[in-house]
Amino acid sequence: MKFPGYRLSIVDGMLSVSVTEFDETELSTASDWKETWENADEALPHGYVEPFAMLHAVCRRVLEGTDPELAASFTARFQAGEALPVSTLEDLARLMQMTLPKKQ
């Protein structure tokens, strides 16, 4: 059986997302058959059946190495109702992580 999904990979040092299909042998029982984990190395391709899970994974990659205190401040201010500018890729990634459901 084939499942449509998204594959994340690093191509020439850049994060890349592609549309693909997975079969049941590629999907992990640990993820309730929603993700692929072909290798323990985080830099290698990973697959997602659910688009929101893929977007959260992309956001995690974008935010790798950023200051966790800045992220906590951004979240607290946003949840308190403050209007925050979204002027960088990192700002957009934080906003997406806070507002998109992790699962459909």
pLDDT confidence bin for 39, thresholds 50/70/90: low
DSSP string, 8-25: EEEETTEEEEEEEEEETT
In sequence order, the β-bridge partners of residue 20 are: 5
| Paired tokens of 54 | 């893929």
Whether residue 20 contacts residue 7, with contact meaning beta carbons closer than 8 Å, is answered with yes
| Paired tokens of 37 | 């984990």
Residue of higher predicted confidence among 28 and 49 = 49
For 54-103, write each residue's pLDDT tens digit.
999 999 889 988 888 988 888 899 999 999 889 999 999 999 988 888 76
* pLDDT attached to residue 45: 61
Read off the pTM.
Answer: 0.81
Whether residue 3 contacts residue 23, with contact meaning beta carbons closer than 8 Å, is answered with yes
CA R_g for the chain: 15
* pLDDT attached to residue 87: 93
* pLDDT attached to residue 41: 64
